[in-house]
């Protein structure tokens, strides 16, 4: 039976890498994003490689749209086996400019956006007695603070609580919930000079990582496929840091 995997924010970066990784393992991947062209490009890359995928536009701040999408996937495919809740933003905003609206916008996407997609899928997973959910946090949510990104760090810390709470509540239903806390990963977000390190900063960061490089999307995708697989059958409620040794290597 082909597994069905729903991934949010799968048009670019870590989400796109996860989509390709799950497809390479034989899953049918539902690629969602607000970025239509990028989402369709991810699907094309998968189908060109012989995989199975479809693009469905989704704004994770839209509860009705999330509910409708999950219902549609369940109707057409018989259920959702895995959710990778990845969609997120990380805008640089100094504290004196961090309005309620900017704070709420980040939480609406980075934390509540995950819940909006997970919540409607849980009843079907419970009915089938199985399911795997993987949520993307960040090292900025589990270990570091990040100046001018207080709202982002706070939301990503919230993801840890989301993972733990869901894991305990859903464990007896056969659903496992885990998270990944990426370190510095080569994505459009990281390479943005406006909101993050920028290209030069990214290379400097690589010099400070014990493994000598910043990560690639595939480094995270391989962990996501593992956490969703039978090989991780006794793992739930965990947030795995994937950072090339950055946290343990800071003296």
Beta bridge partners, 180, equal 136, 240
Does the active-site annotation cover 251?
Answer: no
Residues in the chain, how many?
251
The radius of gyration of the chain from alpha carbons, rounded to an integer in Å, stands at 17
Do the Cβ atoms of 65 and 89 come closer than 8 Å? no
Beta bridge partners of 205: none
Q: Which of 185, 180, 171, 183 is nearest to 215 (CA)?
A: 185
Catalytic residue selected from 144, 152, 184, 234: 152
Alpha carbon distance 130, 146 (integer Å): 37
Question: Which residues are part of the catalytic machinery?
Answer: 152
């Amino acid at each position: 039976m082909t597994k069905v995997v729903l991934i949010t924010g799968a048009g670019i970066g870590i989400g796109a890498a996860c989509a390709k990784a799950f497809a390479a393992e034989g899953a049918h991947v539902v690629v969602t994003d607000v970025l239509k062209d990028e989402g369709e490009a991810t699907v094309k890359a998968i189908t060109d490689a012989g995989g199975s995928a479809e693009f469905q536009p989704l704004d994770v701040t839209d509860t009705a749209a999330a509910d409708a999408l999950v219902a549609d996937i369940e109707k057409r495919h018989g259920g959702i086996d895995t959710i990778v809740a990845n969609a997120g933003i990380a805008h640089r905003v100094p504290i004196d400019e961090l309005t309620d609206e900017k704070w709420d916008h980040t939480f609406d996407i980075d934390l509540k956006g995950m819940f909006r997609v997970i919540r409607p899928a849980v009843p079907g997973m419970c009915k089938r007695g199985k399911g795997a959910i993987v949520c993307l946090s960040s090292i900025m949510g589990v270990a570091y603070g990040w100046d001018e990104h207080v709202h982002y760090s706070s939301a990503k810390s919230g993801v840890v609580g989301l993972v733990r709470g869901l894991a305990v509540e859903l464990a007896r239903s056969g659903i496992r919930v885990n998270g990944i806390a990426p370190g510095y990963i080569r994505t459009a977000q990281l390479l943005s000079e406006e909101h993050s390190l920028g290209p030069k900063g990214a290379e400097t960061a690589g010099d400070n990582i014990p493994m000598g490089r910043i990560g690639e999307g595939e480094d995270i995708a391989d962990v996501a496929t593992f956490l969703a697989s039978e090989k991780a059958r006794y793992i739930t409620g965990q947030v795995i840091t994937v950072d090339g040794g950055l946290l343990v290597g800071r003296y």
